[in-house]
Amino acid sequence: MKNYYIYNNEKFTKKPLKEIAEYAFNKKENIWSARISSGLFGLTNCKAGNRGPKKYNEIILGIGNEGLNKIIDLGFITCPVCKPEKTANFWEIIKYKVNEKYNINTLENFTDKNILNFDARRIKWEEILPIINNVPNRIYIPKNLSKKEIKDFKNRFLKTGFKIPAIGYYSPNVSERFTKYDIHFD
Ligand SMILES: [Zn+2]
């Protein structure tokens, strides 16, 4: 049985997906799925979310408005494939949190990847890692970062006490769709 970390009633707990789905169904709430390797979140049936190598513990879930706000607070942005922003009242639910966090005032700007780009450095690793007690296989950060930027992120990771996963960027033309930053440090 696959257990998932889910945020509900102000805390994360680990629960079987079936139980989470039944609970959300009974409460008529949405379940939001956040992928820590990419820093994207969306719907649980997202095709992009199901593609590629991932472990079930690379996903954290949130239920309803509270879960959605928590996922925003942790630094996740909308998945461009399943577009969670198309769900009812999406902007109304998150607009205060988005404004407080990014000083962004419209849904259009919040979902614009030229404004908030694909960059998993944005997510609160320091809060997430001790909860899930694991690291993803890989982390997607932007291409063409400087050595210093990559090193800063690695150092941030080291401070959490967790093992550093493969850090790299999205590469649509290679089979793995991922290119690891190959930089050596002293
Ligand atoms: Zn998606």
Domain boundaries, given as residue ranges, for the chain: 3-110
CA of 182 to the centre of ligand 1 (A): 28
Look at residue 53 in the predicted model and tell me its pLDDT: 47
CA of 114 to the centre of ligand 1 (A): 18
How far apart are the C-alpha atoms of 173 and 104, rounded to whole Å? 33
How far apart are the C-alpha atoms of 159 and 153, rounded to whole Å? 10
CA of 42 to the centre of ligand 1 (A): 4
Checking if the pLDDT of 186 tops 70, the result is no
Task: Report residue 55's pLDDT band, with 50, 70 and 90 as the boundaries.
Answer: low
Task: Report residue 176's pLDDT band, with 50, 70 and 90 as the boundaries.
Answer: confident
**Residues of 75-104 as b/e, b for ≥16 C-beta within 10 angstroms?**
bbbbbeebebeeeeebeebbbeebeeebeb
CA of 84 to the centre of ligand 1 (A): 7
As a whole-number percent, the residues of the chain with pLDDT over 90 amount to 82
Assess if CATH 3.90.1150.10 describes domain 3-110: no
Give all strands of the β-sheet with 31-35 in edge-to-edge order.
Answer: 11-16, 3-8, 59-63, 31-35, 40-43, 77-78
Provide mean pLDDT across the span 146-166: 94
Give the mean pLDDT of the chain. Answer: 91
CA of 142 to the centre of ligand 1 (A): 19
CA of 44 to the centre of ligand 1 (A): 8
